[in-house]
């Protein structure tokens, strides 16, 4: 029985350290043992609370990310605390003695001893009497100090990534004149028909999108930082990025603007956005939601028509063959639209909030 209890304790410690390693030191999308499932579970709980609250108050969702960070740290420390407590529990009164009389042998005393060691506060009134227990106390203190340090580093990195994501989102929002419309942004980038400098703008967008891709790779919990302002929404950022690349490929006159339509910047924007959508989908989104609605084709046709008219108004030459252009637009959009729609639903946004210009 004693050995079984200690083995369970060792298992809890290994589980905590493995999750910390995969989450903080080897951060890749989907590599977590506990943190990813904890995030999914807490997001489900927050959405449930938001639905049952009066008037379906979604303000509660804005706290999901920060509370997930707290819960993740608590789980890590809790597993270490309980793991070491199980190891020393059976040793109380023998290799661990009280300095003030009789040694209590209950589990609370084991937690007390483990907590003092983990937080590097010392041993309190319980002291190790054997070499093994002394070394175990040093090991727990070292792990506690390391975990606290890694936790601070992790939190700083996550919030730094959030700031970069917000900066990118605000940049796209204001570039589109607060419309969330990629056609409006393209029209303004190529005002008076001059697209000579647009490649640098698209390249900057692609660079920020790749940074977003890598941030989401390293910190999957970023998805659960959901803010009330729609211009911060990840689905809107990806909609703007993908629609921009799609309109460049399908709506611009390829003869005049070939240096733009076939540029590496556009391919980077397209490829980076699609890769992020596919990877998020494989990890977070229900597969039954990734379907194209055939009735959307008419909506996309109207969308393409208005985009072309807006660019023409700024003197930008568009595709010679309208039907070929709209067919290409619809074909390309079918590749990414279901991912964006599913992501919007998963993050509890209405489509009107993500794409108000398509309402």
Domain boundary pick from 137, 152, 167: 152
Round to whole Å and give the CA distance between 235 and 180.
11
Three-state SS for 55?
helix
One domain for residues 251 and 329: yes
- Within a domain: 161: no
- Within a domain: 160: no
Domain boundary pick from 101, 119, 152: 152
Instruction: Point out which residues pair with 96 in neighbouring strands.
Output: 92, 128
- Within a domain: 64: yes
Domain that holds residue 229: 176-358
pLDDT at 103: 85
- Within a domain: 84: yes
**Residues 77-93: b if buried by 16+ CB within 10 A, e if exposed:** bebbbbbbbbbbbbbbe
- Within a domain: 157: no
One domain for residues 224 and 148: no
- Alpha-helical (H) ranges within 90-130 are 107-118
- Within a domain: 93: yes
**Residues 279-317: b if buried by 16+ CB within 10 A, e if exposed:** bbbeebbeeeeeeeeeebeeebeebbeebbebbeebebb
8 Å CB contact between 116 and 138? no
- Within a domain: 158: no
pLDDT tens for 236-275 read: 999 999 999 999 999 999 999 999 999 999 999 999 999 9
pLDDT at 228: 86
- Within a domain: 167: no
One domain for residues 146 and 191: no
Q: How many structural domains is the chain composed of?
A: 2
Q: What's the pTM?
A: 0.90
One domain for residues 269 and 310: yes
One domain for residues 146 and 214: no
Q: Quick one: CA dihedral 210, 216, 222, 228, positive or negative?
A: positive
pLDDT tens for 297-313 read: 899 999 999 999 999 99
Measured at the alpha carbon of residue 290, what is the angle toward residues 39 and 263, in degrees to the nearest 5? 95
For the chain (359 residues), the mean pLDDT of every run of 10, in chain order, is 89 96 85 89 93 76 95 96 94 85 88 89 77 92 93 94 96 93 92 81 95 92 92 96 96 92 94 94 74 78 94 92 95 95 93 88
One domain for residues 11 and 139: yes
One domain for residues 39 and 76: yes
One domain for residues 264 and 302: yes
One domain for residues 222 and 120: no
One domain for residues 271 and 316: yes
One domain for residues 36 and 112: yes
One domain for residues 226 and 287: yes
């Amino acid at each position: 029985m004693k050995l079984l209890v200690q083995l369970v304790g060792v298992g809890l410690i290994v589980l905590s350290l493995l999750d910390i390693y995969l989450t903080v030191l080897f951060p890749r999308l989907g590599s977590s043992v506990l943190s990813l499932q904890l995030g999914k579970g807490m997001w489900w709980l927050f959405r449930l609370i938001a639905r049952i609250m009066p008037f379906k108050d979604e303000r509660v969702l804005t706290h999901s990310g920060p509370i997930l960070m707290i819960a993740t740290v608590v789980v890590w420390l809790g597993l270490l605390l309980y793991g070491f407590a199980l190891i020393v529990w059976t040793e109380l009164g023998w290799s661990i003695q009280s300095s003030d009389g009789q040694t209590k042998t209950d589990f609370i005393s084991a937690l007390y001893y483990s907590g003092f060691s983990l937080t590097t506060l010392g041993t309190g009134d319980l002291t190790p009497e054997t070499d093994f227990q002394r070394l175990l106390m040093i090991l727990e203190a070292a792990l506690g100090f390391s975990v606290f340090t890694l936790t601070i580093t992790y939190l700083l990195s996550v919030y730094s990534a959030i700031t970069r994501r917000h900066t990118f989102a605000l940049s796209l929002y204001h570039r589109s004149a607060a419309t969330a419309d990629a056609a409006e942004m393209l029209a303004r980038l190529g005002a008076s028909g001059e697209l000579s400098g647009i490649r640098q703008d698209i390249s900057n967008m692609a660079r920020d999108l790749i940074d977003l891709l890598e941030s989401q790779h390293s910190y999957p919990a970023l998805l659960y930082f959901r803010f009330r302002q729609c211009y911060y929404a990840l689905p809107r950022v990806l909609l703007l990025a993908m629609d921009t690349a799609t309109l460049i490929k399908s709506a611009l006159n390829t003869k005049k603007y070939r240096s733009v339509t076939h540029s590496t910047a556009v391919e980077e924007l397209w490829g980076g956005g699609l890769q992020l959508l596919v990877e998020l989908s494989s990890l977070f989104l229900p597969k039954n939601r990734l379907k194209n609605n055939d009735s959307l084709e008419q909506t996309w046709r109207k969308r393409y028509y208005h985009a072309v008219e807006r660019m023409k108004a700024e003197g930008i030459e568009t595709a010679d063959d309208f039907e070929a252009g709209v067919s290409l637009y619809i074909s390309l959009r079918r590749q990414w639209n279901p991912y964006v729609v599913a992501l919007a639903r998963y993050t509890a946004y209405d489509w009107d909030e993500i794409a108000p210009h398509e309402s």
